[in-house]
Amino acid sequence: MAHVNLLPWRAARRKQREREFYIQLVTAFVAALGVLLLWIFWMDQRIDNQNERNTYLQTEIKQLDVRIAKIKDLEAVRAHLLARKQIIEQLQADRSQMVHLFDELVKTIPSSARLSGLKQSGQSMTLDGVAQSNASVAEYMRNVESSPWMGHTDLRKTENTHDATRMPYAFGLDVTLSRPKTDEASAGKIPVQPAEASSSATPAATAPAVSGTAAKAAITASAKPADAAAPATPGAKPAVSASAATGGTKP
């Protein structure tokens, strides 16, 4: 015998499917919301971690900036000390240069010439004087160039003043100063002592310009005849050079 279902089973099944669909939709929504919340929490943790790292890096950068500033200050002090050391070494090497220069000027000037003034500026010297003739000026230039303490010499001027004196020719020379190799080697081996260097290097530091009065006094003595200029004792010549050097290095 056939069984016939007269109940609305299709509508009931449709409602059941709708109910299952809504349940699945809610479940998916809840799962998505949970995943979203987990992702937000994870991103917050990463942001907090990165902020902590940035704070740590900024702190370290500030500390490094302080260290860099200290290093720059130390480098400036080091450069200043090196500059002072070079100046002291230069003064230590040049402290006896003026004495040698005066000695060489006394040795090289001929009896037929006389200097009226000189001026030193760095490693160059300007000489002015008078002579009997141009030949005397040429002889003086050769003597200067042959000196180990003076190098190339340029003739700045030479003219006949037509004076009634014994030396009517006025001349001017530009001399380049030099240093013997033996003196350079010995100067490099001299130990630098700050206490003594400051006192002993003071005359050399103030000797770029030599006064004309001291130069005239030293050169007038050298312009005398050979028998009068020759020292009677071995210690006479250093006395003349020392007096000239003392007068020519006034501060």
pTM over 0.95, yes/no: no
CA pair distance 93, 55, nearest whole angstrom: 56
Domains, in order of start, for the chain: 94-248 (3.30.1360.100)
What pLDDT score does 13 carry?
87
What pLDDT score does 244 carry?
37
What pLDDT score does 22 carry?
94
What pLDDT score does 224 carry?
42
Nearest by Cα to 118 from 217, 223, 9, 229 = 217
Residue whose token pair is 């002993």? 200
Give 164-178 pLDDT, tens digit per residue.
Answer: 778 888 999 888 887
Give 201-226 pLDDT, tens digit per residue.
Answer: 333 333 333 444 444 444 444 444 33
Encode the chain (251 residues) as per-residue pLDDT tens digits: 567 666 777 888 888 999 999 999 999 999 999 999 999 999 999 999 999 999 999 999 999 999 999 999 999 999 999 999 988 887 776 676 777 787 888 888 888 888 888 888 777 888 889 998 888 888 888 888 888 888 888 888 888 887 777 888 899 988 888 777 655 545 554 444 444 433 333 333 333 334 444 444 444 444 443 343 334 433 333 333 333 333 443 33
What pLDDT score does 203 carry?
38
Nearest by Cα to 142 from 116, 110, 182, 119 = 110
